[in-house]
Amino acid sequence: MPRARGLMRNSRKTECGAKQFLSGLVVRVASLALTCLISLAGVVGVIIAQSSTERSVWDAVYTADQAKRGEMLYANNCASCHGSALGGGESAPPLAGGEFFANWNGLTLGDLFDRIRVSMPADRPGKLGREQNADVLAFMLSVNQFPSGKAELEHQSEVLKQIRFEAEKPRK
């Protein structure tokens, strides 16, 4: 009988060891599955982000009327530093032409809008409201000869971040 008890103990130890092994295996498999799921979610997020920024400044993202309103705002709030032709000044960068394009190419209108909204005009940052900043941005786009369209440029950063600033017109 003592031999049978020893076999039963060994059997229980083996059974207990198998349960621990299976339990550890389940945890490892679940962890691996979760890691794969998180990685897949990241890839899907990147794809969605890329597809949501398919619009560019070449897609007629502002109206001519909006640019006209922006022209008046620009003359009263921006021209003293950036110049009446948007060519820049002693301490202010140009808002038109090659240097401007090089500075903003590849970024989004949301990036440019936020820069304007937070730091301009230099003597009173934040003086203009979001709609006024969008109008000024529309004026800047018109001076840089980006096409106007039928819908006004939005005044929410999140929406504007979906519009790429591209110096060169994309080939279709």
Q: Which residues contact 138 (CB under 8 A, 6 or more apart)?
A: 62, 63, 66, 67, 69, 70, 148, 152, 153
Q: What is the pLDDT of residue 47?
A: 47
Q: Which residues contact 18 (CB under 8 A, 6 or more apart)?
A: none
Residue-by-residue pLDDT tens, the chain, 172 positions: 555 555 555 555 556 565 676 666 666 766 666 565 565 555 445 444 444 558 999 999 999 999 999 999 999 999 999 999 999 999 999 999 999 999 999 999 999 999 999 999 999 999 999 999 999 999 999 999 999 999 999 999 999 999 999 999 988 7
Q: Whole-model pTM?
A: 0.70
From 153, 73, 152, 77, select the one nearest 112 (Cα to Cα): 153
Sign (positive or negative) of CA dihedral 168, 128, 110, 68: negative
Assigned CATH class of 56-164: mainly alpha
